[in-house]
Amino acid sequence: MSDNHHEEAHTGPIKTPKQLLLAGFFSFVIPIFAIIGLVLYVTSADKPAAGAVNPEKAIAERIQKVGMVEVRDANRPLKGGEEVFKAQCTACHTSGAAGAPKVGDAAAWSARIKTGFETLVQSALKGKGAMAPQGGGDFNDTEIARAVAYMANASGGKFDEPAAPAPAGGDAAAAAAAPAASR
């Protein structure tokens, strides 16, 4: 009697060959269907949403560029100092906001004028105190220098307004023509 009890304790749930075949079959089929279902679920997100009019437009919006490059016309005429001052500098240098010296206040500008024109221009281009750098903005460096000359001259300075820089291609052509003409 103890032998029968011992054999029943070690038997599993599969008792017939038919049960073994069914268990083997379902142990492969159920995971396959589960994987197929998961793949279909995951890839369904790539399809355009219901009611989307133009799927190409939706893709274009998702991959739009983050920044842009602006090409400016290098051949445009340079603006004068007064025009640049009115567009860029007047907000602070007319009212004296954030400690900016007012245009026409000779006492406030005298020490700055004594440092020289190049120092004033570099302060404007790189920024100083509460003033943000002006280089790389709407105006090029020569136009900012013209505005500096305008403000300094209106406040007691005697600086010449900077001339437009010569085009780089013109200098190279002139330098190449000069040796050829001397031969």
- In this prediction, residue 21 has a pLDDT band, given cuts at 50, 70 and 90, of very high
Share above pLDDT 90 across residues of the chain, in percent, rounded to a whole number: 13
What is the pTM assigned to this prediction? 0.52
Nearest partner of 100 among 140, 141, 134, judged by Cα: 134
- In this prediction, residue 178 has a pLDDT band, given cuts at 50, 70 and 90, of very low
- In this prediction, residue 46 has a pLDDT band, given cuts at 50, 70 and 90, of low
Share above pLDDT 70 across residues of the chain, in percent, rounded to a whole number: 77
Q: How far apart are CA 171 and CA 105, in angstroms?
A: 41
Domain ranges within the chain, ordered by starting residue:
16-68, 81-154
Could you please state the CATH topology (level 3) that the domain comprising 81-154 is classified under.
Cytochrome Bc1 Complex; Chain D, domain 2 (1.10.760)
Q: Which residues contact 112 (CB under 8 A, 6 or more apart)?
A: 101, 120, 152
Mean pLDDT, rounded, for 101-129: 84
Q: DSSP characters for the chain? A: -HHHHHHHHT--S--SHHHHHHHHHHHHHHHHHHHHHHHHHHHGGGSPPTT-S-HHHHHHHHT--S-------TTSPPPPHHHHIIIIIHHHHTTTGGGPPPTT-HHHHHHHHHT-HHHHHHHHHH-BTTBPP-TTSSS-HHHHHHHHHHHHHHTT---PPPPPPPPHHHHHHHHHHHHHHH-
For the cut 70, the answer to whether the pLDDT of residue 168 exceeds it is: no
Mean pLDDT, rounded, for 55-82: 77
